[in-house]
Amino acid sequence: MKKTYYLFNPGRMARRDNTLKFTAVDELGKEQKPRYLPVEGIEALYIFGSIDANSALFNFLGKQRIPVHFFDYYEHYTGSFQPKEYLLAGKMQVEQTRAYLQNRRRMHIAQRFVESASFNMLKNMRYYDKRGREMAPLITALEGFRESIGASPDVPALMGIEGNCRQIYYQAFEHIITDFPMNGRSRQPPSNEVNALISFGNMMCYSLALDMIYHTQLNPTISFLHEPGARRYSLALDLAEVFKPILVDRTIFKLLNRRELQPKHFEQSLNGCFLKDTGRKIFIKSFEERLRETIQHRSLGKKVSYKRLVLLECYKLAKYILKMEEEYRAFKIWW
């Protein structure tokens, strides 16, 4: 089974036959013992440290269809190396563009994204409300905003509804998380531990969505809820909205409420709060465990992992775009 590898230490990476040779470098510039990674076992690489590499290595990674995602020291996602699109097809490109340009079809997809994402937020809130967190007023408020999704006249109005839903949802974090205050959502930089985890987790979810899109005929630059941008894979932003409540937020709740992450795993820097390497490793380990968890799929009649749910979502969207399905139903938590 292929694995995703996360590299935190600075170092050098090079091709060695059919393996990747990674040589970490310590704070004094001294090389550590090399580590060899067989390419047939690599699904993706996440780079958090400074890596020296050359074009020959990336040519090799491209031929092996191994994507590489880059993050800076302060956990900001900076970009991805994506191999040549090996599944892109002309018909999909045309139909995906047409679906974006046709207001009715674009709104149908965008509304399903917001409806699904807000439903999954509500599912988390109800779960904790049943366990004594007393969030009835917030649940009522979120339900009220959800009722206006179908009547939204355009995408900007829909984005406003999504923003209102998420604002209510983040207020619920104060009731769900026991020892760490959130004090509202803050970004670039995040102001405290909860915001640091949300920002880091959202980037991980975005990268995952991008990887899954790559394994379909979908074009990651043509989106429906978020406006397509010149320098971002905006369809991954759309899909990430659906899965953040189950993949990112539930991971955060577990790690903080079980005290697996503590204040010592964070640092204050540049007027913001960021995870230390130790904290990132704890979060990524838990995030990967969640991706490997399986559930009984209602339609397929077999167990599938959370990670595969994201890929299945891409397939569903592709079928609607190609008019193989009359309606697109985005993923909703059913358990």
Q: What is the pLDDT of residues 103-142, one digit of tens each?
A: 999 999 999 999 999 999 999 999 999 998 889 999 999 9
C-alpha–C-alpha distance, residues 307 and 208, integer Å: 8
Q: Which of 204, 206, 180 is nearest to 289 (CA)?
A: 204
Q: What percent of the chain stands above pLDDT 90?
A: 74
Is there a domain that residue 333 lies in? no
Give residue-wise pLDDT tens across range 244-282: 999 999 999 999 999 999 999 999 887 899 999 999 999
Q: Are residues 204 and 102 in the same domain?
A: yes
Q: Are residues 62 and 95 in the same domain?
A: no
Q: What is the mean pLDDT of the chain?
A: 92
Q: Are residues 36 and 130 in the same domain?
A: no
Q: What is the CATH number of the domain that holds 271?
A: 1.20.120.920
- Give the pLDDT of residue 251: 98
| In the predicted structure, residue 91 carries a pLDDT above the cut 70 | yes
C-alpha–C-alpha distance, residues 12 and 14, integer Å: 7
For residues 304-328, one letter each, b for 16 or more C-beta atoms within 10 angstroms of the residue's C-beta and e for the rest, the string is eebbbbbbbbbebbbebbeeeeeeb
Q: What is the mean pLDDT of residues 40-61?
A: 90
Give residue-wise pLDDT tens across range 275-313: 999 999 999 999 999 999 999 988 888 999 999 999 999
C-alpha–C-alpha distance, residues 72 and 50, integer Å: 8
- Give the pLDDT of residue 85: 65
- Give the pLDDT of residue 188: 82
Q: Are residues 148 and 211 in the same domain?
A: yes
Domain that holds residue 231: 90-321
Rg from Cα positions in the chain: 21
What is the pTM assigned to this prediction?
0.89
Is there a domain that residue 265 lies in? yes
Q: Are the beta carbons of 314 and 226 closer than 8 angstroms?
A: no
Q: What is the mean pLDDT of residues 16-33?
A: 86
For residues 90-113, one letter each, b for 16 or more C-beta atoms within 10 angstroms of the residue's C-beta and e for the rest, the string is eebeebbeebbeeeebbbebbbbb
Q: Are residues 60 and 114 in the same domain?
A: no
- Give the pLDDT of residue 75: 67
Is there a domain that residue 80 lies in? no
C-alpha–C-alpha distance, residues 330 and 115, integer Å: 8
- Give the pLDDT of residue 27: 75
How many domains, in total, are found in the chain? 2
| In the predicted structure, residue 102 carries a pLDDT above the cut 70 | yes
Three-class DSSP labels, 124-169: HHHHHHHHHHCCHHHHHHHHHHHCCCCCCCCHHHHHHHHHHHHHHH
- Give the pLDDT of residue 8: 87
